[in-house]
Amino acid sequence: MQSENLNGRGPTITLDGEEVGFVPGESVYEVATRAGKAVPTLCYDPRLEAFGSCRLCVVEVAGQRVPVASCTTLAADGMEVTTASADIERLRRTLLELVASENREVKVDPLRGIASQELTTLVERYGACRGRFDGAQSGRTRADDGNPFILRDYDLCISCYRCVRVCAEQEGDYAISVANRGFATQITVEFGGHLRDSACTFCGQCVQTCPTGALADKKALRFAENGG
């Protein structure tokens, strides 16, 4: 049941100057999205626990010294939030340039997966430059994995961990994990092996949540290559 504030109304936050109601337990990101605000994110999937790793969803909250991740910050009655100030938009563009500069490419075939265009769309939206932070890269493609279903093109991985989390939280398989840290980060399975030798059931959930096409549907790509 929605609680009431001292004025006898449901709780509200001020979102870019507009008062918006919310249900206790909602995150600032959920409230903003419902209100039509285009707050960007790459690590968020509504089916999963909020993670806050990509930091693209940061917003300014009155009284807070630094921007906060809106997906992991709960809305509070009377909170004043700015979702897209000039400083926040500049920060988002820089974060996207960091991500894009590490990937082999940004534009990928949309047949790779439902979410595969998320990075492409955001890079275009913010006019992010790919070459500004060229340097070391994390993730190495597993071209040696010959399973017929899932392409593991980790040169495109941004370590959002959506694949790891959907495998654990939605499927309960825990087939995918993360090895190492920093530029040595690698999405992997047990003993660094192939998917068909792991606990993977080839459900495809990891493919459909990947925002960059690092995991792709091999069958869909073969279908396209063969002219449908």
Total domains in the chain come to: 2
Read off the pLDDT band of 224 (50, 70, 90): confident
Closest CA to 79 of 139, 131, 19: 19
pLDDT in tens, 84-105: 999 999 999 999 999 988 888 9
Q: Domain range holding 215?
A: 104-225
Could you tell me if 110 and 190 lie in one domain?
yes
Query: Hey, is 150 helix, strand or coil?
Result: strand
Could you tell me if 115 and 209 lie in one domain?
yes
Could you tell me if 111 and 221 lie in one domain?
yes
Could you tell me if 140 and 27 lie in one domain?
no
Query: Mean pLDDT throughout 33-52?
Result: 96
Using CA atoms, how far apart are residues 140 and 125, in angstroms rounded to an integer? Answer: 27
Q: For the domain that residue 221 is a member of, what is the CATH number?
A: 3.30.70.20
Could you tell me if 120 and 219 lie in one domain?
yes
pLDDT in tens, 161-214: 999 999 999 999 999 999 998 888 999 999 999 999 999 999 999 999 999 999
Query: Mean pLDDT throughout 104-128?
Result: 95
Structure tokens at 3: 């609680």
Q: Is residue 171 part of a domain?
A: yes
Q: Is residue 168 part of a domain?
A: yes
Could you tell me if 38 and 108 lie in one domain?
no
Q: Considering the chain, what percentage of its residues have pLDDT values greater than 70?
A: 96
Could you tell me if 116 and 199 lie in one domain?
yes
The answer to whether 15 and 77 are in contact (CB under 8 A) is no
Read off the pLDDT band of 226 (50, 70, 90): confident
Q: Is residue 33 part of a domain?
A: yes
Can you give the pTM of this predicted structure?
0.89
Query: Mean pLDDT throughout 128-155?
Result: 87
Q: Is residue 97 part of a domain?
A: no
Could you tell me if 124 and 164 lie in one domain?
yes
Q: Is residue 96 part of a domain?
A: no
